[in-house]
Structure 1
């Protein structure tokens, strides 16, 4: 068994940002990453992104603390491969103590400390930062008729490129950036139908770079980060009249989708761009959840286990904490009380009571 001050679970952007601030403060920490290579979701280790995926903002405004992302030659917005390379170099430059691949099976209490039980051993630690993200838990709603539909159903993580849908009829479900971007490119080769539970909200065409970063971290007047960013492909789709969303269908049928008013639309495929859920099963032994499945938090600190901190799961763990735009600010805020505790050695845990925080969907 190894002993450290802080164990960070997850080696994606959130875990690396936390590691940066911990190392800068002199904390003895370890970062446990379940993947075999650096880069988190962005390295495609488990084929979690589509071919055309790019950041919503430019490299200069999408950086982790301590080192700016270099610009990708010839590109306004970095590709997934460029981001993965940046994250790998970020680890190296800051000499972050990443161990991989390590599958964390559970975090448990043990004699006044926490123990992180992984596939390569156990770490005894004072604090745990869980930064496992959401990409391994794609969410597809249990919509009526799903079992009846004879066409193809896939989630965002299953999609790669539009050519495989050429000449088909495709329903795209979802009101976020992923749905709009995939709808835009699918509509160039297929007959598409866009359906949403709420009317989609669009940012203005000029929301890029620093403006988008400010919007993400401070919720400026330009919109919220889960509003659709008008990247070039989405603008072209708008100009072609593609961005006209219909209300969510009531059920799937054997051959397509149907609404309560009798309307139907035949389809070959349904693409569910319906978000993700946090990967938190390793925390089950600590029982941090409220009856609704949320995690009561005070900032990033878990109220039911005050030496457990959550980071990178969306706005409920810091504004835009699940994006390169916002994770630096969120990580600094999450690490600050940990560093203070390590300095003072204060063992009195705060009152473990508080309102539940609901788990929400993730936005790209």
Structure 2
């Protein structure tokens, strides 16, 4: 191994380093992949841009809770312990779990190391970082989507004088107490943040279509089962069940259910533009606003893979399972159903991470 030293938490490397597999991203997907590669005896490193363990969970809003009980929110090999007093663990509990998981299995995470690009290089992959280069026979991209928030091109957005935030910027309702707040988005983030703000602000919740709440008894465990059933149906050539989206868009976690049942989560249709002091609907109706929170989703964070020129429709990289069709040495984990059913969830990443690790080990040893 080439000499390296640590300074301010970063690895300063004097030349290329070598390993069999580089995992880009040290969140839940990267850790799950590392667990399986370790069990298969594969040499690997995990490069994580964050200075501390926990992935995107350490940046979530204060009231965020999982959709599932701890027992159904575990990574491979290590059950998540229950959180005292909480049926559904909060984000801080998840951060603690991921930190413990990383240490328990002694996963070789280097942080903070930001990957700048993955390149083809003489039959291998060269991973360029802000701390030097790694050469590997295979790579796993596990960067998720939190780092690439999506903002829709709504007319007048640049003229609005109030605060504009995305889901990634929101922390708690105290920051907006007494203000007029517009929350945009009919998914889980929009519903949870709207519920969070419903008591202490003048709230307007705006959705593209009427919100669809899942039945109250549906949680993350049931959603994973539905996603798995859809995968099996497609693999067996049966009719597409529609998966999770056939049931609804919003999991009625306790805070959402409470606000909904109190009549505080009444959605308005999407407005057509913003103006200096608020939002305007197609019929000319106006609502003043001090802040707009865009809970409008994310796009996969794949800029580091641009040198490989693999992008397909909608910005996705076409895959067979987790393996990129245009680069057999690259696997993708945790970006959504296109890289495995429910693969962006804690419990859902287990199977695709095992499959990716197994395929990589087979290729390396053949």
Give the TM-score of the pair, scaled to structure 2: 0.88
Q: Contact conserved, 1:13 with 1:64, CA < 8 A, in 2?
A: yes
Instruction: Check if 1:191 corresponds to 2:213.
Output: no
Q: Contact conserved, 2:213 with 2:248, CA < 8 A, in 1?
A: no
Instruction: Check if 1:232 corresponds to 2:247.
Output: no
Q: Which residue of 2 aligns with 1:90?
A: 101
Deviations 1:188-207 (A, max 9, x none): 11121111123322111111
Instruction: Check if 1:330 corresponds to 2:345.
Output: no
Superposition deviation, residue 168 in structure 1: 1.7
RMSD: 1.8
Q: Which residue of 2 aligns with 1:247?
A: 269
Q: Contact conserved, 2:214 with 2:248, CA < 8 A, in 1?
A: no
3-state SS, counterpart of residue 182 of structure 1: helix
Q: Contact conserved, 1:177 with 1:226, CA < 8 A, in 2?
A: no
Partner Cα separation in structure 2 for residue 128 and residue 327 of structure 1: 17
Q: Which runs of 5 or more residues in structure 1 are unaligned?
A: 345-364
Q: Which residue of 1 aligns with 2:180?
A: 169
How does 1:110-259 map onto structure 2 within 5 Å?
110-208=121-219, 210-218=221-229, 223-224=244-245, 227-259=249-281
Superposition deviation, residue 135 in structure 1: 1.1
Superposition deviation, residue 182 in structure 1: 0.8
Q: Which residue of 2 aligns with 1:10?
A: 25
Partner Cα separation in structure 2 for residue 229 and residue 115 of structure 1: 41
Instruction: Check if 1:317 corresponds to 2:328.
Output: no
Q: Contact conserved, 1:145 with 1:252, CA < 8 A, in 2?
A: yes
- Residue 82 of structure 2: which of 71, 74, 91 is its match? 71
Q: Which runs of 5 or more residues in structure 2 are unaligned?
A: 1-15, 231-240
Size of the aligned set, in residue pairs, is 340
- Residue 118 of structure 2: which of 103, 107, 119 is its match? 107
Q: Which residue of 2 aligns with 1:356?
A: none
Which moves more between the two structures, 200-209 or 224-233? 224-233
Partner Cα separation in structure 2 for residue 233 and residue 280 of structure 1: 33
Superposition deviation, residue 149 in structure 1: 1.2
Partner Cα separation in structure 2 for residue 50 and residue 35 of structure 1: 17
- Residue 269 of structure 1: which of 270, 291, 307 is its match? 291
Rate the CA distance shift 1:130–1:193 in 2: closer, same or farther, 3 A.
Answer: same
Partner Cα separation in structure 2 for residue 212 and residue 66 of structure 1: 21
